[in-house]
């Protein structure tokens, strides 16, 4: 009996982002729906064939999506809010994309991060009297589509309990989980269709099982799977959990009458022993042993040794090997990367390579297949080289970190004393006006950067261009009367990449795209070695900007937690340690800016909240080191130097204490859309430092009027004392046009002046 390999989901976007191209061409009206659907079908076929060729037995279907799999689940069960005007029957493509992106008539569904990943899903919006029906048979259609190509697949469904737990309702006090009894018949119906069509297994994803659950939720799982397993006795359910261990939810799950259970053994390695000891003898265990969230090549020999006795004890037919979670979160194929350093490249595995690893391991464990043992030995050899590589270790960095004292993580004086010195230095008016950093990345800016990257624009010409942009931005900020200026970030491609490219220990891919949402993809940097800063990174542009004006120009850095959070992080050193290394590199940058006459330095941390672990019990440990890292990066300066930070997309209640401990002199946050409600957390905390609640929603093209901004300021002043307040937009302005930015900021300055005059 040989061990089989499963995949839980393949990246959808395509090796060359074909889906992005097809979507954007359709949205812009350049091609029709049929062309889009054809491209999508081609991608699915190619991915199925590729997985078959890689020896995957359980190939997923319905893991593909034109936009988002949670949206697909909403459409499948007919959960489409009334405003989208759907009246039953097939859900038209226009309706689907109206839900995803909004239209001239309706806004899009809300979007938020999928668990602790950087993938965003469309939040289901349900009502108390929500009716469900099988509005789309996509899972069945794609199963049959694969079957017609001669490929047996295992359809993937987002589980009903996780679906409801991810959903929101506009009605206060209403918990969508109540709708489970109404939802289950629709799931039963699709399961019946799949069974009739000949599906053997179905993969039902319930990642909510790795969260803290109350009894009600646990009961919901029992209700759901008691019912669903009874629907089609021959259709086996692989209940799939990922992004963590099951911990206190394990005994609930092992009592469910399911045929298979998938475990994430990367995030929850301790589960293996426990589950194999406790699981009923006939439960098939899918072992998620290859990290679906990171890019590192695996130590297969180590897994072989660990798994051999377990498999012998329970029988090979009771195990399946799989990635820890869907491969949606990693780039597709490492072979495309021609410019990575050869050794670094040899340490990596993307989706295709990961499936190859699973195949080799399965063969070795099954005692079949020539050459598989060699692949394991090769992996072992390469990983030994990685462990010994001087590229991963930097003595100086390690020594310096070992010597960090708590004094280095503390400003010299308390905030009140610092503030006095800073005021004496800067003499800013009450409610100082500023922006968050970036100005519009216009077509011209992006073009110049691209031609420079291609070698068509010389360094000198590119720099001259950037100088011109920067100087113009300074002049204009002076003209409209902003108090604290920024240089505009014209030279930056991305707020993490720009720094990563200048630091030792970071690598960048050419094709390593990972879906962020819809057609949007990112190429996260790879942190493979100790992080060090060979030379200043932002001093030249910041001092150039400061030389153009007498007003203070704010230095602008990306914080250590955000750099970590938006990268693939090495797996041979704790995340906290990697973060400390980045913090030290940034500390030097902060001190260099100060030494070069920059009196205000902003260290952005928009990702601090999304770094929160999935389980509450782990929050404090994370927040402690996150705060430490921020303080290490920012505490090297004198009291008179003013440290700012910026956070957006945040709910602050959970982290307000950590924000307090970060002790930035000034924090700017996103509050315009919530009409200052987010400030509540700061009010009840009695937040003592300065704060700039965003008064201008930069996500929409519309220009806020002076009256509107005044009203928001008045509201902010009810929450906090006016002498604590700054006036700024919600976030950076890089995605806006100058036509939008100019009047909006002029109104903002006018509103601040009027507010000062009247109070």
325 binds, options Zn ion, ligand GLN, none, Cβ within 5 to 8 A by partner type: none
Indicate the residue among 14 and 732 with the shorter CB distance to ligand GLN.
732
Q: Does residue 318 contact residue 351 with C-beta atoms inside 8 Å?
A: no
Is 193 assigned a catalytic role? no
For residues 600-629, which are near Zn ion according to CB under 5 A? 606
Helix (H, G, I), strand (E, B) or coil at 496: coil
Q: Does residue 662 contact residue 645 with C-beta atoms inside 8 Å?
A: yes
> What one-character DSSP code corresponds to residue 615?
S
Q: Does residue 586 contact residue 631 with C-beta atoms inside 8 Å?
A: no
Is residue 139 part of the contact set for ligand GLN (CB under 6 A)? no
360 binds, options ligand GLN, Zn ion, none, Cβ within 5 to 8 A by partner type: none
| Residues 99-138: x where in contact with Zn ion by CB under 5 A, - otherwise, as a string | ----------------------------------------
The CB density around residue 170, as the number of other CB atoms within 10 Å, is 10
What is the rounded CA–CA span in Å between residue 713 and residue 535?
41
Is residue 748 part of the contact set for Zn ion (CB under 5 A)? no
288 binds, options ligand GLN, Zn ion, none, Cβ within 5 to 8 A by partner type: none
Phi, psi of 679 (to 5 degrees): -70, -20
**What size, in residues, is the chain?**
759
Is residue 734 part of the contact set for ligand GLN (CB under 6 A)? yes
Indicate the residue among 480 and 714 with the shorter CB distance to ligand GLN.
480
* Structural tokens at position 74: 């909403």
Is residue 140 part of the contact set for ligand GLN (CB under 6 A)? no
Comparing every residue's Cβ against ligand GLN, the nearest one is 732
Q: Does residue 671 contact residue 730 with C-beta atoms inside 8 Å?
A: yes
* Structural tokens at position 215: 């009894």
Q: How many residues bind Zn ion (CB under 5 A)?
A: 3
Is residue 741 part of the contact set for ligand GLN (CB under 6 A)? no
Indicate the residue among 275 and 466 with the shorter CB distance to ligand GLN.
466
Is residue 608 part of the contact set for ligand GLN (CB under 6 A)? no
DSSP letter string over 454-467? TTSS-HHHHHHHHH
Indicate the residue among 351 and 691 with the shorter CB distance to Zn ion.
691
Which residues on neighbouring strands pair with residue 205, listed in sequence order? 158, 240
Q: Could you tell me whether strands 666-669 and 690-693 are parallel, antiparallel, or unpaired per DSSP bridges?
A: parallel
What is the rounded CA–CA span in Å between residue 619 and residue 654?
9
Indicate the residue among 359 and 552 with the shorter CB distance to ligand GLN.
552
Q: In what order do the strands lie in the sheet with 153-158?
A: 4-5, 319-323, 284-290, 260-264, 236-240, 201-205, 153-158, 59-61
Among residues 206, 604, 639, 665, the one that binds ligand GLN under rule CB under 6 A: 604
Q: How far is the CB of 657 from Zn ion (least distance, A)?
A: 21
Is residue 590 part of the contact set for ligand GLN (CB under 6 A)? no
Place of tokens 């099951």: 246
Exposed, middle or buried, 545 (CB in 10 Å: 0-12/13-18/19+)? buried
Q: Which stretch binds Zn ion (CB under 5 A): 173-181, 200-208, 418-426, 599-607?
A: 599-607
Which residues on neighbouring strands pair with residue 136, listed in sequence order? none
Q: Which stretch binds ligand GLN (CB under 6 A): 169-177, 506-514, 536-544, 729-737?
A: 729-737
| Residues 398-437: x where in contact with ligand GLN by CB under 6 A, - otherwise, as a string | --------------------------------------xx
For residues 57-96, which are near Zn ion according to CB under 5 A? none
663 binds, options ligand GLN, Zn ion, none, Cβ within 5 to 8 A by partner type: none
From first CA to last CA, the distance across the chain in angstroms is 81
Indicate the residue among 590 and 648 with the shorter CB distance to Zn ion.
648
Active-site hit among 329, 644, 699, 719: 699
What is the rounded CA–CA span in Å between residue 45 and residue 41?
6
Q: Does residue 511 contact residue 331 with C-beta atoms inside 8 Å?
A: yes
Q: How far is the CB of 629 from ligand GLN (least distance, A)?
A: 17
Phi, psi of 741 (to 5 degrees): -70, -40
Q: How far is the CB of 609 from ligand GLN (least distance, A)?
A: 12
Q: Which stretch binds ligand GLN (CB under 6 A): 52-60, 281-289, 581-589, 728-736?
A: 728-736
Is residue 730 part of the contact set for ligand GLN (CB under 6 A)? no
Among residues 73, 731, 748, 749, the one that binds Zn ion under rule CB under 5 A: 731
Q: Which stretch binds ligand GLN (CB under 6 A): 2-10, 203-211, 449-457, 730-738?
A: 730-738
Q: Does residue 470 contact residue 488 with C-beta atoms inside 8 Å?
A: yes
Q: Does residue 227 contact residue 185 with C-beta atoms inside 8 Å?
A: no
Indicate the residue among 207 and 606 with the shorter CB distance to ligand GLN.
606
Among residues 351, 496, 556, 748, the one that binds ligand GLN under rule CB under 6 A: 556
Is residue 732 part of the contact set for ligand GLN (CB under 6 A)? yes
What is the torsion angle, in degrees rounded to the nearest 10, for the CA atoms of residue 147, residue 153, residue 156 and residue 157?
A: 50
Q: Could you tell me whether strands 526-532 and 504-507 are parallel, antiparallel, or unpaired per DSSP bridges?
A: antiparallel
Indicate the residue among 13 and 669 with the shorter CB distance to Zn ion.
669
Percentage helix, strand, coil for the chain under 3-state DSSP, each rounded to 5:
50, 15, 40
Positive or negative CA dihedral for 30, 32, 34, 40? Answer: positive
Is residue 289 part of the contact set for ligand GLN (CB under 6 A)? no
> What one-character DSSP code corresponds to residue 179?
G
For residues 481-520, which are near ligand GLN according to CB under 6 A? 489, 495
Is residue 438 part of the contact set for ligand GLN (CB under 6 A)? yes
| Residues 647-676: x where in contact with Zn ion by CB under 5 A, - otherwise, as a string | -x----------------------------
What is the rounded CA–CA span in Å between residue 184 and residue 202?
16
What is the rounded CA–CA span in Å between residue 10 and residue 64?
8
What is the rounded CA–CA span in Å between residue 227 and residue 209?
18
Contact residues toward Zn ion (CB under 5 A) are 606, 648, 731
Residues forming contacts to ligand GLN in the complex (CB under 6 A) are 436-438, 489, 495, 556, 604, 606, 646, 648, 731-732, 734
Catalytic residue IDs:
699
């Amino acid at each position: 009996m040989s061990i089989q390999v499963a995949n839980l989901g393949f990246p959808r976007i395509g090796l060359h982002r074909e889906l992005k191209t097809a979507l954007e061409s359709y949205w812009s009206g350049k091609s029709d729906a049929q062309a889009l659907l054809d491209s999508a079908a081609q991608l699915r076929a190619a991915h199925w064939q590729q997985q078959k060729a890689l020896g995957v037995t359980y190939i997923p279907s319905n893991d593909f999506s034109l936009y988002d799999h949670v949206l697909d689940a909403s459409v499948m069960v007919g959960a489409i809010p009334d405003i989208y005007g759907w009246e039953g029957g097939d859900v038209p493509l226009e309706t689907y994309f109206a839900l995803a992106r909004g239209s001239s008539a309706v806004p899009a569904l809300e979007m938020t991060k999928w668990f602790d990943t950087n993938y965003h899903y469309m939040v289901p919006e349900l009502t108390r009297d929500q009716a469900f029906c099988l509005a789309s048979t996509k899972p069945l259609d794609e199963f049959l589509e694969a079957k017609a190509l001669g490929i047996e697949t295992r359809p993937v469904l987002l589980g009903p309990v996780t679906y409801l737990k991810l959903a929101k309702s506009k009605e206060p006090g209403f918990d969508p989980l109540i709708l489970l009894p109404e939802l289950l018949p629709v799931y039963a119906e699709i399961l019946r269709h799949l069974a009739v069509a000949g599906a053997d297994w179905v993969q039902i994803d319930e990642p909510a099982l790795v969260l803290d659950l109350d009894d009600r939720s646990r009961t919901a799982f029992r209700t759901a799977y008691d019912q669903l397993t009874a629907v089609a006795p021959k259709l086996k359910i692989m209940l799939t959990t990922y992004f963590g261990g099951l911990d206190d939810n394990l005994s609930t799950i092992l009592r469910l009458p399911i045929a298979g259970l998938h475990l994430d053994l990367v995030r929850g390695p301790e589960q293996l022993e426990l589950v194999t000891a406790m699981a009923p003898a006939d439960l098939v265990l899918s072992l998620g042993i290859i990290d679906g969230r990171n890019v590192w090549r695996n130590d297969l020999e180590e897994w072989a040794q660990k798994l051999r006795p377990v498999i012998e004890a329970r029988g090979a037919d009771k195990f399946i090997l799989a990635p820890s979670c869907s491969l949606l979160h990693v780039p597709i194929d490492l072979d495309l990367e021609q410019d990575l350093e050869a050794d670094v490249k040899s340490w990596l595995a993307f989706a295709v390579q990961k499936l190859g690893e699973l195949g080799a391991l399965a063969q070795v464990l099954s005692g079949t297949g020539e050459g598989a043992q060699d692949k394991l030995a090769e992996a072992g050899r390469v990983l030994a080289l990685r462990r010994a590589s001087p590229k991963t270790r930097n003595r100086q960095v390690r020594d310096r970190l070992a010597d960090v004292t708590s004094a280095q993580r503390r400003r010299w004086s308390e905030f009140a004393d610092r503030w006095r010195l800073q005021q004496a230095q800067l003499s800013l008016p009450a409610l100082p006006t500023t922006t968050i950093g970036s100005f519009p990345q216009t077509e011209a800016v992006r073009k110049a950067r691209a031609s420079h990257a291609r070698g068509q624009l010389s360094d000198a010409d590119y720099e001259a261009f950037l100088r011109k942009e920067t100087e113009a931005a300074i002049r204009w900020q002076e003209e409209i009367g902003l108090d604290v200026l920024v240089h505009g970030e014209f030279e930056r491609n991305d707020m993490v990449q720009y720094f990563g490219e200048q630091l030792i220990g970071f690598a960048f891919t050419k094709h390593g795209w990972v879906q962020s949402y819809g057609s949007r993809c990112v190429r996260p940097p790879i942190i493979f070695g100790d992080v060090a800063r060979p030379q200043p990174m932002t001093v030249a542009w910041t001092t150039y900007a400061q030389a153009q004006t007498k007003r203070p120009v704010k230095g602008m850095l990306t914080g250590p937690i955000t750099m970590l959070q938006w990268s693939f992080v090495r797996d041979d050193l704790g995340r906290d340690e990697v973060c400390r290394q980045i913090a030290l590199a940034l500390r030097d940058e902060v001190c260099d800016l100060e030494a070069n006459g920059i009196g205000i330095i902003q260290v952005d941390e928009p990702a601090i909240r999304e770094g929160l672990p999935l389980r509450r019990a782990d929050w404090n440990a994370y927040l402690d080191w996150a705060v430490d890292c921020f303080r290490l990066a920012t505490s090297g300066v004198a009291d008179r130097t003013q440290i700012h930070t910026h956070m957006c997309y945040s709910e602050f209640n959970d982290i307000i204490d950590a924000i307090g401990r970060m002790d930035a002199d000034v924090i700017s946050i996103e509050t315009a859309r919530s009409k200052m409600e987010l400030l509540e957390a700061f009010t009840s905390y009695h937040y003592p430092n300065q704060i700039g609640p965003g008064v201008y929603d930069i996500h929409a093209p519309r220009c806020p009027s002076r009256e509107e901004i005044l009203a928001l300021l008045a509201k902010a002043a009810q929450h906090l004392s006016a002498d604590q307040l700054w006036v700024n937009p919600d976030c950076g302005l890089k995605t806006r046009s100058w036509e939008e930015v100019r009047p909006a900021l002029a109104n903002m300055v006018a509103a601040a002046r009027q507010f000062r005059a009247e109070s």
